Structure 1
Amino acid sequence: MSTIILITGANSGVGFSSTKVIASASSEYHIIMAGRSLEKVEAAKAEIEKTGIKGSISTIQFDVTDKSSIDAAVKQVESEFGHIDVLINNAGVTSRNPDLKAQIEETMAANVVGPALVSQGFQPLLFKSNRPYSIYVSSGLGSLERAIEHPIPNDQWTVYRMSKAALDMLMVQEYTALRGKGVKVFAMCPGLVRSNLRGKSATEVSAGGAAGDPDISGHTMLTIVQGERDADAGRIVHKDGTYNW
């Protein structure tokens, strides 16, 4: 029986790389690639399949900021698969709206409220798994300790950091609520990897050349899915260990 893994925001960045790495690891994995644009997730699926993966992939369209869209996706996944084994809340944004109120609302809607609603919607399907995992893609930028030790000299990332700190608390609350039900809950920090979250230009995507291969984050995700990081449940996991709060 396949391990069913749902990944939001799967058509680019960490979601794309996680799909590729996990699907390449074993024939037991079936990835449901989710995104707001079905055209984009279908194109991403085709690109990954060209690499000769061992597992299988399907796609689904829904918007994590739209509860009715999430509810429809839950029904579709239940109809097609009956359950899921791993839920990876990866979709997120970095709003550049010059209006602070709008920037906060846009960022929190996608990075905190959306994952909370996705988890709420899909938990009944996760509870049907014999080995359920719930994983939130967070960031070391959400660590309060690291914010003091490694300050960023401008406010470009302030709201994003706020959202990831809130997401980490969501993860902890879910961990404490569900550990008695056998669900292993994590936050995963991808590290500084190439991503369009920083912008669309080559310089922004690569962080001026400092960003690494996003497959690094995909391999970190794979270790969680394979159970290698079970001792770190309830923590912010990165490739070399865990972050403090």
Structure 2
Amino acid sequence: MTVDSAELVVETPYIWRARRPDARHRLICFPHAGAGAGAYAEWADLLPPEIELVAVQLPGRQNRIMEDPFTETGPLVRVLAQALRPILNSPVLDGSFAFFGHSCGAVMAYELARVLRGRGTAGPGHLFFSAQPAPQLFDQVPRLHDLTDEEFREEVARLGGLDPEIAEDDDVMDALLPTLRADFEMWEQHPVAPGEPLDIPITVLSGRDDPRAPGTTVEGWREHTTGPFHAEYYPGGHFYFLDAPAEVVGFLGQSLLTPSLTGRVS
């Protein structure tokens, strides 16, 4: 039930936020390949009123469709660390906040958490990684970026996540595919540098029938934290959360408000 209605709106080129001035926590969400911040719009009213939603918007999609997408992960993560920093009356990386990333968005969130630690600045109190194998197991997932256009389009459609009208519209798909391919190419080739594990609680979420993130691969994230680790599975495939958004977002909210469920949030 919606208690405190909030709308996800554009604040800066990189930040869409559903403001809740009295919120105690903030959930910062990172998009999957080809997706924009709007992928999380429905979540604003599904989260408890104590939690404010922020969604990251990248170039090459939605209101930034005319901009070129990033092609290198290093510059992307450095830009995000700057773009999400506390500024004026729009602090994002302050107070109690957590990261959620789906698919390649999980790696984006992980690398940003590592950058923040390296700079000695405040980091997330919890990391939620969805439908993404742990870095040391990336090679267990078939790569898509080097497929032909026809093969790539078929595989992307098979994963789900696209409205049927979009998937069947050749003109729309032709416009979306360059950004989708750029994202897959960037993250599928991203080498995660070795380093000390984080000390942040990590919770992984995945669909039980996800061909790109089997349970054995997502649970490999356990090696990347000295803090609590928890795995949560749902019916469905790679885009399991589209089938039951209220259940998934409810779990995230409960995890943040009742830290003993999945680990302590700072």
TM-score by length of 1: 0.47
